[in-house]
Amino acid sequence: MRIGIIGSGRIGATVAKLLTRAGHDVAIANSRGPDSLAGIAQDTGTHPATVGDAAGFGELVLVAIPLHAIGDLPADRFAGKVVIDANNYYPGRDGQIDRIDSGEITSSELLAEHLDGARVVKAFNTMFFETLASEGRPGAPREQRLALFFAGDHTEAKRRVADLIEEIGFAAIDTGPLGEGGRRQQSGAPLYNVTMTAPEAERALESA
């Protein structure tokens, strides 16, 4: 599959390496431009691109950038795409966003609002990048794998993201629609940055 990754930080670079290792064709981009990505591209097996070109290239696009920067994304290049939202809202970094603080909207819904026409799925935002890099077990039974959560409003988009999660060796756990499910995955929520196997995650969701 052709996959675009916007953001070359810890999560973006880690997911890029996992996906190229799984056989996908990955273009990676950041706000500084392709010339800044030579080392990361070599390390991850990706090819550097501009943000617009990476979005246009990918059948699926992962966004892993600071939340305050989502307004700079060229929304038209994401139209019709499945977009994985790996962002988190940190007020100390992103500034206070009243609509999120009041509970009116989640960070994922904010991204979906900007990328009107894309099908946004929240995923890859709750696990520490070092765990993500080293703990995938593609050959293990599902009950022995660590859980990676996802949420969204589009059934087919969620299935494609769940398939990717399973392919790189984690157990895909559905937390619900983009609003409610994304809220369960946000920073500070009980599921956030807690290492759990699939059965433990399913029990945690039942008791939430």
Can you tell me the mean pLDDT for 9-38? Answer: 96
Residue 24 has pLDDT above 90, yes or no: yes
Closest CA to 87 of 106, 115, 113, 59: 106
pLDDT at residue number 97: 94
Q: Does the predicted TM-score (pTM) go above 0.85?
A: yes
> Which pLDDT tens digit goes with each residue over 144-200?
999 999 999 999 999 999 999 999 999 999 999 999 999 999 998 999 999 999 999
| Position 109 confidence tier, pLDDT thresholds 50, 70, 90 | very high
Q: How far apart are CA 135 and CA 196, in angstroms?
A: 11
**Cα–Cα distance, 145 to 62 (Å, whole number):** 22
Residue 85, domain extent: 2-207
**Which amino acid is residue 95, in one-letter code?**
G
pLDDT at position 208 over 80? no
The pLDDT value recorded for residue 7 is 97
pLDDT score for 107? 96
> Which among 49, 11, 10 is positioned nearest to 31, based on CA atoms?
49
Average pLDDT over residues 124-136: 97
Give the CATH number for residue 88.
3.40.50.720
What region does 48 belong to: left with phi over 0, alpha with psi -120 to 50, or beta?
beta
Query: Which band of pLDDT confidence, cut at 50, 70 and 90, is reported for residue 130?
Result: very high
User: Residue 83 is inside which H or E element, if any?
Assistant: strand 82-85
| pLDDT value at residue 129 | 96
Percentage of the chain modeled with pLDDT above 70: 100
Q: What is the mean pLDDT of residues 103-117?
A: 95
Q: How many domains does the chain have?
A: 1
